[in-house]
Structure 1
Amino acid sequence: MKFVKWAVTAAVLVMSLLAAIAPAAAAADRPIGIYLDNRKLASDVDPFIIPKVNLTMVPLRVISEGIGASVFWSQQTKTVTTENADTTISLTAGASAGTVGGVSIPLAASVQNVRGRIMVPLRFVGEQLGLQVDWNGTARTIALTSNGGGIPPASGAGTGSAGGASGSPGSGDGSGGSLPGAGDGSGSLPGSAGGGASPGSDLPDGTSVPPGAGDNGGTLPGSGTVPAAGGSLRGAWVSTVFNLDWPSAPSYGNPQRQEQEFDSLLDDLQGMGLNAVFVQVRSVGDALYPSSLVPWSKFLTGTQGKDPGYDPLAFMIAETHKRGMQFHAWFNPFRANTDTSTDKLAPNQVAKLHPDWIVASGGALYINPGIPAARQQIIDAIMEVVARYDIDGVHLDDYFYPTNGTFGDDAAYQTYNAGRFSNKGDWRRDNINQFVQKLGESIHSLKPAVKFGISPFGVWRNKSADPTGSDTKAGVTSYDDMYADVRTWIRSGWIDYVMPQIYWSLSFGAARYDTLVDWWANEVKGTGVSLYIGHSPYKLGTAEAGWQDAHEIINQLAYNKLHPEVAGDVFYSAKDLRKNPLGVADLLRAYYGG
C-alpha cells in the first residue's frame, strides 16, 4: 500500500513537472522571427541560438536585401558579399572573421552555411549594417530598426548630409555633414554605421552593456566650480533619438528600468574618467520633460505625447550632479521629424500646430529658420528648461539648414528679407545669427552661470573658398552649406564655448585632425570663448584611414595639449565608448587616471 501511495504521488509530481516544462519547451522550439522596420522578413532558414556560447545566428542575405543592399554569392569560394552606399562586407563559410571595407573583423562565432544560407552572429549584423537590434525573448522575435536609412551616416550614412534622421551631433543625432572630399562614403559623420543594440537591450548574444563604476567628477570650466583633472572637460554625447544611447526601446513605459539604465550609463562613463554628459532632451520638436509648449518624446514610451509617469530630466540631472558630473541639455533646434509623415505626431507638436512653418527636405521635416515666430518658439521651448532645471549648460548641435536636399524657403525669403540681402545664402546665415544671438542673450540674462555652446561641423570653410579657412577639402562646410557663421558667433561673444566635430583622424588627408585643431585654436585665441573638441570613437574599427587602432583617440588627446586653447574633449557617443571598440574605454581610463 505504501508503494502504491508513493507511486501515485510520484506520478502526480512528474505530471506537474511536465506540465510546467511543456510551455517553456514549446516556446524554445518556436522559430525565431526577424522583423525589419516592423516588416517581417521571410527566410527559408530561421535564426538559431548556439547554446554553449549563447550567440544568435541570422541569415545575412535576407537582412542585407531587406535594407536594399546588393548581395553577391561566389559558389567557388563559398563567399557572400554585401554592398551598400557605405561599405562592402564579405563573409566566407567556415571563416572566423569577415572583411568590412577591406579590414578584417573577428567574429564571435564562425560563419555557417545552413542549407545554402550564410549565417552570421547577430551582433555583427547590427554593428556593420548600422541597425538597432532588439530581442523579445517571450515572443522569440528579433526587431531590426534601420533608423530611416542611417543612424548618422556612419554618421549620416556616408552621404553628404548634415540634416539626417539619426543621432549624432552633426550627423544626427545622427545625421551629419558629408565627409571631406567624400564621394565614396569612405568617411561619414557620426551615427550611421554604428548600430547594434542599445544599452540594456538584453540580446541573447550578450549585447547588453553591464554597469560600471567610477569616481571622477568635475565641472565645466568657467561655471564657477572647480573642474577635475586640471580643469579639462571630458564628456560624452547621449543620443535619445531612435533610443541610440538612452533609454532602450525595451524600457518603454518602465520608469524604473529607464532610471537604472541611466545610472549604469553614468557609472560607465565616469569609470572611464569622464565628468560631463550632453544629453539630448529635444530631438524632434519634443521633450524629455513635462512641457507646456512641446509634447513628450516618443522615445520614452513609443508614443509621442504620452506621459512616461515621471520627470526624466529632473532624475537625470539629480543623478549626474550626485556623481559630481556636469549635465548639459542638448537640443536639436530646427528638426521637426525624422521622416515626412505627421500621422503619429502629437496634436501639440509644431508640425501639427504650424504646418506653415515646416519644410520637408531630404526625407525629414524642419522648422524654417527664416520665420521669426518659428525661431522665437524654439527659444521659448529652450528657455523653459533653463528656467525650471538646474542644468550646467545649453548645447546645440549643427542642425541648422540641412545639406541633404532642396530646402524650399523662397516664400519666407520674399516675406522676411525686406531687401536686406541680395542672395539667399547671406539671408539664411543672418537667420541663424539672429537665433544664436537672441538665445544666448536670453540664457545669460536669466542664468548667467549656465553655459551656452554649439557643436558645429568640423570644417568652417575650405581655404579654396576663403583664404582664411582651413587647409582642407571638405565636401560640405559649416558656413557654405549649413549657413552657420561660427566665426561671427565667436567674435561677437554670443556663445561661451564652441565644440567642432573633428571626426577625422590624424592621417585623413582631406581633413586632418591636427590641421583642424590648429585652425579652431587660432579662431578662439584671445576671444574668451572656450574650445572643446568633438571626437568620433564610433569610427574605431572601420576602414577609414586612421581608425584601426584605438590609440588614434589617445594621440588626438595628446595633440590637443599642444594648444592651451583646447579646454576639453567630448566623445560621440556614449554607446560607442561603452562598447569599448579596440579597447578605447580601457585606454581612456588609463589616460585620465580613472
Structure 2
Amino acid sequence: MKYSFAKASAIVLIFLLFISSCSTKKPISKSTGNKPKVTQQIPKTEPQKPKADNQKPTEKLALPEVNREFRAAWIATVANINWPSKNNLTTQQQKDEAIKILDLLKDANFNAVIFQARPSGDALYKSDLEPWSYFLTGSIGKAPTPFYDPLEFWIAEAHKRGMELHVWLNPYRAHHTTGGPITSESLVKKMPDQIIKLKNGMYWMDPSDEKVQDHTSKVIKDLVKRYDIDAIHIDDYFYPYREYNGGKDFPDNRTWNIYQNSGGNLSRADWRRANVNKFIKRIHDEIKAEKSYVQFGISPFGIWKPGFPEGIKGSSQYDELYADAKLWLNQGWLDYFSPQLYWKNDGPQSFPALLKWWESENTQKRHLYPGLNTIGLNGVSDRPTEIVSQINTTRSLLKNGAGTIHYSVDGLSKSPAMYNAVKNAYQTQALIPTSPWIKSKALNKPNLFVDNNGNSINVKWNSTDDKNVFQWILYVKNGDTWETQILEKDTVSKNLPLTKNGKKLNTIAIKSVDRLGNESDYEAKKL
C-alpha cells in the first residue's frame, strides 16, 4: 500500500503539471494570412512605494495673472531733439547718452522705445541705400568715429533691459531745415526728379512717384532683414502739412499729369490718398513676408476729420495729409495704431472723445496705443496730473490691452515732476499685450532647478528653445502670498530668502515669454 500510494500521487502530480502547462501557451493562429490575435494580458498590480518625505503631490497651480500694458517713449533724432543731444559727440558720449535714456525708462517700468533711425532720407545705422545722418556726425554721409552702428547698439541695449526696440522712420521727408548743407551724398541730389522743395526750406519726396515708393520699400525691407528689431513705426508725415509750403497745395503736377494722361479718373485728392493707401498696405505685407513677428505700427495725426466724433474741431488728416488712417485701422493693415492725441481731456479736441471714437473704428481689434503730449500739452496748469489722467482713461477704456506712447522722452527726462508722476502710474512691471492675429510657435516649458543650501534657496532655470525666449516670469509664494517678477532674458538665476515678512517660502514657478508677449506653460517646484 505504501508504494502504490506514492506512485499514484506522482502520476496525479505529473498530470496536473501537464494541464497547467497547456493553459499558459498562446493559441496558434490558423494559416489564413492574417496576423495571430493577441490575447489581452491583465497587468499585475505593483504595490505602491511610499513617497519620500520631500515629495509633494502634483497639482495645478493658480498662478497670478501678469499685468499687461504697452509703455513706450519716442526718441527723436531729427534736429537732435532727444538723441544725440549734439551732432559732434564722440562715439562713447553717444553711447553714454543712450544708456542714460534707457536706464531712465527701465527704472520707470517702460517696456518699449520708439527710436527714430531715419529722420529725413538718411540713416542712423549702416546703410547702402541712404547716407549717414547729419544729426549723428555733423556731416551727411560721415560715419561715426570710432565706428559703431547706433541702431545695433540701441537694439542690444534695449533688449538687454527687456525692452522692445521699434524703428521709427519718416517715409517721405528727404531733408530737414536743420539738416545742414545739401551735399552730393543727399537724396536731394540723387533723386532730383522725385523730390520737391517746400516753402519752409524742407525737401519732400513725392508720395505718388513709384520710384519713391520703391525706394522707401527697399529701406524698410533692409531694416527688417538685417536688424533684430521688434517693429517698424511710421509717424504722421505723409503728404506735408500745408503750413510747410506756405499754405499752398503740394506741387506734384508732374506725377498728376502722368496719371491723368494714362487715363486715370480719380480726383486729385482721392488719387493722393490712393497712393498712400497702396504704400501702407504694401509695407505691411512686405514686413510680414520677411519676418511675420515684426510688428507694423502707425502714429497718424489724432483727428481723422473734424466732426468725427461729433463736436471735434481741428485739422483734417484725410483732407490735408491725404492719409485715410481710419481705412488702415478698419482693414487691419497694421499691428498697432497710435493716434497722436496731443490735447487735454476737455476742449475742442477732447482726448477721451477721440480715443473712444478710434476704438469704435478698431473693427479688427488691433492694438490701440494713443500718443500723449508729455512734453508740451497746452492749456493745462498741471501737466503731470493731466497725463496720468489720460493713462488712466486709456486703461479704463482698453482694459488689459491698454498702452500709451509718450512724446517725447525729454518730457520725462527734463521734468522730474512729470517723470515721477508717470513712474508712479507705471509702478508695477508689465508685459506687452499679446497679438493673437500674429501666428507664433508655442514656447517649450522651461526647466527649473532648486537648491536649498540651508540659509536660502538658489533657483536656476533655462529653456530648450532659448533663441525664442525674450523674458522670464518668476513666481514666488511665501505663505499664501504670490509675488511675480518679469526678468530679462539674461537673468537665469535668483537667490531667494527662506522666509519673507515672517512667511515661509513654499512654491517657485517659472515661465518663458517670447518677443510677442506669449507665455509658455510653467514649471514649478514645491518646497
TM-score by length of 1: 0.58
Q: CA deviation at 1:471?
A: 2.4
| Number of residue equivalences | 354
Aligned position for 1:31: none
| Separation in 2, partners of 1:340, 1:273 | 33
Distance 2:403 2:66 in 1: 10
1:576 corresponds, among 411, 420, 444, to 411
Identity of aligned residues (%): 38
CA deviation map 1:4-43 (0-9, x unaligned):
xxxxxxxxxxxxxxxxxxxxxxxxxxxxxxxxxxxxxxxx
* Amino acid across the alignment from 1:528: K
Q: Which amino acid aligns with 2:269?
A: G
The answer to whether 1:350 aligns with 2:187 is yes
Picking from 299, 302, 311, the partner of 1:455 is 299
Q: Distance in 1 between matches of 2:237 and 2:181?
A: 22
Which residue of structure 2 aligns with residue 479 of structure 1?
318
Structure 2 unaligned residues grouped into runs of 5+: 1-64, 429-527
User: Which amino acid is the alignment partner of residue 133 of structure 2?
Assistant: S
Using a 3 Å threshold, how does the CA distance of structure 1 residues 416 and 348 change in structure 2: closer, same or farther? farther
| Cross-structure match for 1:89 | none
Partner of 2:67: 230
Is contact 1:233–1:567 with CA below 8 Å preserved after alignment?
yes
User: Is the 1:370–1:416 Cα contact (8 Å) retained in structure 2?
Assistant: no
Q: Does 1:442 align with 2:283?
A: no
Q: Counterpart of 2:210? A: 372
Secondary structure of the 2:303 match is: coil
**CA distance in structure 2 between the partners assigned to 1:371 and 1:472 by the alignment:** 37
CA distance in 2, matches of 1:339, 1:539: 22
1:401 corresponds to 2:236? no
8 Å Cα contact 2:411/2:418 also seen in 1: no
Alignment check: 8 A CA contact 1:433 1:485 kept: yes
Instruction: State the distance in 2 between where 1:362 and 1:516 align.
Output: 32
Change in 2 beyond 3 A, CA 1:389/1:346: farther
Measured against aligned partners, the alpha-carbon deviations of 1:192-217 in whole angstroms (never above 9, x if no partner) come to: xxxxxxxxxxxxxxxxxxxxxxxxxx
Mapped to 2, the partners of 1:499 and 1:513 lie a distance apart of 13
For the pair 1:430 / 2:274, whether they are aligned, the reply is yes
* 1:371–1:416 Cα contact (<8 Å) kept: no
Q: Select 1:498's aligned residue among 337, 351, 361.
A: 337
Change (3 A) 1:278 1:547: farther
Question: Any idea what the Cα deviations from partners look like across 1:255-287, whole Å, max 9, x if unmatched?
Answer: 111001100000011112211100000011000
Tell me which residue corresponds to 1:296. 132
Between the aligned partners of 1:277 and 1:550, the Cα distance in structure 2 is: 20
CA distance in 2, matches of 1:445, 1:232: 27
Assess if the C-alpha contact under 8 Å between 1:336 and 1:366 holds in 2.
yes
Report the equivalent of 1:361: 198
Query: 1:499-541 CA deviation, whole Å, 9 max, x = no partner?
Result: 000000012x2111111011011111x413210110001125x
CA separation in 2, counterparts of 1:422 and 1:236?
39
Structure 1's 552 and 522: CA in aligned 2 closer, same or farther, altered over 3 A?
same
CA contact (8 A) 2:79 2:178 kept: no
- C-alpha separation in 1, matches of 2:398 and 2:120: 36
How many Å separate the matches in 2 of 1:551 and 1:574? Answer: 17
User: TM-score, normalising length from structure 2?
Assistant: 0.65
Could you tell me which residue of structure 2 aligns to residue 271 of structure 1? 107
Q: Give per-residue Cα distances to partners, 1:299-358, cap 9 Å, x unaligned.
A: 1111010011211111110000000000000001100112399x8234242211111101
Query: Which of 80, 84, 95 is the equivalent residue of 1:259?
Result: 95
2:406 and 2:427 map into 1 onto residues whose CA distance is 17
Residue 426 of structure 1 aligns to a residue in which SS? helix
Following TM superposition, the consecutive aligned residue runs of length 4 or more in structure 1 with deviations greater than 4 angstroms are none
CA contact (8 A) 1:398 1:455 kept: yes
Question: What's the Cα RMSD here?
Answer: 1.8
In structure 2, what is the equivalent of residue 336 of structure 1? Answer: 174
Largest Rg, 1 or 2: 2
